[in-house]
Amino acid sequence: MAARKDSQFLSEEVSIREDAGHIMKKILFLISTWQEIYTKKILRGIENYTEAADVELHVLNAYGADVEYFAKEAETFQLVDVRKYDGVMMLFNGVGTADFLKKYTRECVEFDIPAISIDVKSPGIAYCGIDNYLSTYNITKHLIEEHQVKRLQFVGGPEDHPDSIERAKAFEDCLKDHGLEPYGIGYYGFMRASGAQAYREAKASGKPLAEAYVCANDYNALGFCNAAKEDGLMPPQDFLITGFDNQEEARNYFPSLSTIDRNPEGLGYYSIVHLMDVIEGKEARDSGKGISGLVIRGGSCGCQKERDLAAQCLELNQHIALRNENDTRQKGTRERLCGNSTFEQYQEELRQCMELKGVTDFRIAVNHYLTNPEYAKTEGYDNIVDVYGVDTYVQMDRTEDLIPENFRDGKTKIFWFGTLHCKERTLGYSIFKYTPELMDFQYHRTLNETAALAVENIRQAMILNKVNQKLECLYIKDSLTGLYNRFGYNSFAGALYKKNNGRIYVVFIDMDNLKTLNDTYGHDYGDIALKGIAEAIKEVYADTDVKVRMGGDEFLVMGPYVNEEELFVKEKQMDEYLMSYTEAMNLPIPLEVSIGHSFNEDVKEVANTGLENLLQHADVSMYEKKQQKKGHRR
């Protein structure tokens, strides 16, 4: 398998590799992204391998921010079972991610799944990362040998952080090898505020500033420089300073920061190569590989004497133009996707976004029970998810496959997953076909948040609609029998009449002896009897008929007229049902009703027999039947 060599940081020692077989390998990649450009370069190196390999890579990403936000983001990792993969890659190098590295290392070791950790060593699994020690040694050596400095101070990250410990050790050893003593070693953090604190402490010490400061990362160095500038001091005139990571801010700073490039592209490539060697048994499960960082000689140590400001301004203007274009696209996308009340509307708006704004195609997999008003779950995922995209919907079991089969195109090797969450509620997850553009200007992060907000708005709209339907149901339904009440009659009777052009029947039903039953045996028996009549009506008459409890012991049924014989058949069925109900419920007296009906037999009658006339005729018919019964009883 030939590897691409289109990166300035991908070492020329990358060899041509051949696949041992043609069985597709599924690799899981768990990432806590704290810096999109770094993640993008890592993935570019991985792409150099996967584009010609029989590999499908599932990237589960959590963006680092404040603690609560990251906690919701990290639920992405709950989507998978490591046992379903041939190998696992992990990139947990941000602050507060150590527990996740321990958790998934433990799972991989327990289930005997080949795994590799990038940047941070984890006992029991393979490792590939920048050689912190060698990289820091080399940049310290550069300051001593090429700039002839004698007083050097180390500005470290947290004292217990592995990176900070290794870099401090390299700093001390380099000075010792050159016959020097550290001017100072301090441990702070990895943020700008940490570097500013280091400067203030150096200033307050009463000693002259060091000739050079070796910082644990770029943000430390930038914070130190900004604090010094407030006192009119700046590198390289007043002190030399170096960082670590080669962040974009460090490159654009004035003067540009001398630093260590982590060679993330090479790191990504060698990580997956090493993992595949572990899978194939060519490397031990806990073997490691270190990648040397590259010393970037910037202006902060005095190496870069001049900068092409015209070219840099042009590059910056292009960058700003692209960012503005992206911001406009994201704003328009959010306006379109977040104003919908149904998923069908969302799908159509997504189509418009793709056609008009160039939004990338992606899927949202929504927790299946999310729109149930009684759904109280706020964390994690349903096993069954509803997957929406443009012109596509599928319901699937995510435990079988995270990706709907119709989203695979036979070409995409890397799929990117993120959690859809809004405040404290997890809504589902998103699925993207990975392209490098997803990492530009926080494009994926913003689009994922937009999709989450769209789903939350739809959830609320659908729940509100269901609540309104329930309230409407309470308004138009009789609470005892479940039939329509008079409000329900007013809502649906006229519509039924109009729909059938007036050719309908009306049946009036009145319970016999309800007062006797209530007075003699109590209202509980009366309620049981009324429920029995309602059940009989539901059983005998069609579902499409309008069935109403008009009040007290009176009921009404309306439906399309067929013939009068059918009406007599249904009256007989009512009597039979009520006889059985009397026995089943052990009622003290037989449950009987009087039934009368009226109808419009043909269209000619409609003009002369409106709905109200039909009701009156049915009521009269029912009353006559009741009187006949009373006459027979006497």
Smallest CA-to-CA distance from 385 within 363, 407, 406, 413 is with 363
The residues near 338 (Cβ < 8 Å, ≥ 6 apart) are 450, 453, 454, 457
Question: What span, in angstroms and rounded, lies between the C-alpha atoms of 229 and 140?
Answer: 23
Collapsing DSSP states into helix, strand and coil, what is residue 270? Answer: helix
**Is 356 in the same domain as 298?**
no
**Is 405 in the same domain as 531?**
no
Q: Is residue 28 part of a domain?
A: no
pTM strictly above 0.85: no
Q: What pLDDT score does 423 carry?
A: 85
**Is 242 in the same domain as 170?**
yes
**Is 460 in the same domain as 494?**
no
* pLDDT tens readout for residues 346-383: 999 999 988 877 788 899 999 999 878 777 778 899 99
Q: Is residue 505 part of a domain?
A: yes
155 neighbors 196 (Cβ within 8 angstroms):
no
Q: Is residue 21 part of a domain?
A: no
Tell me the CATH number at 577: 3.30.70.270
Q: What pLDDT score does 237 carry?
A: 95
Tell me the CATH number at 249: 3.40.50.2300
Tell me the CATH number at 339: 3.30.450
Q: Is residue 206 part of a domain?
A: yes
Block residue for tokens 């989203």: 407
Cβ count within 10 A of residue 461: 15
Question: What span, in angstroms and rounded, lies between the C-alpha atoms of 64 and 476?
Answer: 51
**Is 457 in the same domain as 493?**
no
Q: Name, of 69-83, 272-286, 357-371, the range with top average pLDDT.
A: 272-286
Strand (E) or helix (H) holding 555: strand 554-560
**Is 203 in the same domain as 162?**
yes
Q: Is residue 241 part of a domain?
A: yes
Q: Predicted confidence band at 149 (pLDDT cuts at 50, 70, 90)?
A: very high
* pLDDT tens readout for residues 509-564: 999 989 999 999 999 999 999 999 999 999 999 999 999 999 999 999 999 999 99
Q: Predicted confidence band at 321 (pLDDT cuts at 50, 70, 90)?
A: confident
The Cβ-side half-sphere exposure at 293, using a 13 Å CA radius, reads 27
Question: What span, in angstroms and rounded, lies between the C-alpha atoms of 625 and 631?
Answer: 10
Choose one of 468, 501, 521: the last residue of a domain: 468
Weakest-pLDDT range from 244-248, 472-476, 573-577, 580-584: 472-476
Q: Predicted confidence band at 623 (pLDDT cuts at 50, 70, 90)?
A: very high
36 neighbors 445 (Cβ within 8 angstroms):
yes
**Is 517 in the same domain as 457?**
no
Q: Is residue 366 part of a domain?
A: yes
The residues near 97 (Cβ < 8 Å, ≥ 6 apart) are 32, 64
Q: What pLDDT score does 18 carry?
A: 39
**Is 441 in the same domain as 522?**
no
Question: What span, in angstroms and rounded, lies between the C-alpha atoms of 220 and 297?
Answer: 17
Q: Which domain holds residue 393?
A: 322-468
**Is 428 in the same domain as 491?**
no
* pLDDT tens readout for residues 462-499: 888 888 888 877 889 998 999 999 999 998 999 999 99
* pLDDT tens readout for residues 374-430: 777 788 999 999 999 998 999 999 999 999 999 999 899 999 999 999 988 999 999
**C-alpha torsion angle, residues 237, 238, 240, 242 (rounded to 10):** -100
Q: Is residue 136 part of a domain?
A: yes
For 351, 513, 594, 597, 627, the CA distances from 630, given in Å and listed in that order, are 70, 11, 11, 19, 5
**Is 604 in the same domain as 563?**
yes
Give the total number of structural domains in the chain.
Answer: 3
Question: What span, in angstroms and rounded, lies between the C-alpha atoms of 471 and 492?
Answer: 17
Choose one of 247, 280, 310: the last residue of a domain: 310
Q: Is residue 4 part of a domain?
A: no
Cis ω before 158 (30° cut-off from 0):
no
Choose one of 412, 436, 468: the last residue of a domain: 468
**Is 300 in the same domain as 369?**
no
Q: What pLDDT score does 5 carry?
A: 36
**Is 522 in the same domain as 579?**
yes
Smallest CA-to-CA distance from 1 within 364, 272, 378 is with 272
441 neighbors 323 (Cβ within 8 angstroms):
yes
Weakest-pLDDT range from 45-49, 161-165, 469-473: 469-473
